[in-house]
Amino acid sequence: MFVTNEEIAADDSASAEVCVGNELGLHARPAARLAREAQRFACDIALVSGGQQVDAKSILDILTLAAAPGSAMTIRATGRDASLAVRTISELFNTRFGEEK
């Protein structure tokens, strides 16, 4: 389980702490899948890692994080479907974006 903490606030915001479990880190394929899933939601979604915050709906922004295996990051969402967005994206991290390693 890679989700370490999940918070759901009453003001349409949610967050979760996750860890990159992929052997090659958050490379192009999982970053593309993450951005594609994030784009399905109306809420604003950000990834925070190492003091840097990026738009989770942009593959280029995600790749700038250069998240290595084991990197901890926070998913933050604000908007009416924030909770579902955070849970959906957390599940991607939990399943290593469908990759075996």
List residues with catalytic annotation: 27
Q: What is the CA radius of gyration of the chain?
A: 12
Convert the chain into a string of H (helix), E (strand) and C (coil).
Answer: CCCCEEEECCCCEEEEEEECCCCCCCCHHHHHHHHHHHCCCCCEEEEEECCEEEECCCHHHHHHCCCCCCCEEEEEEECCCHHHHHHHHHHHHHCHHHCCC
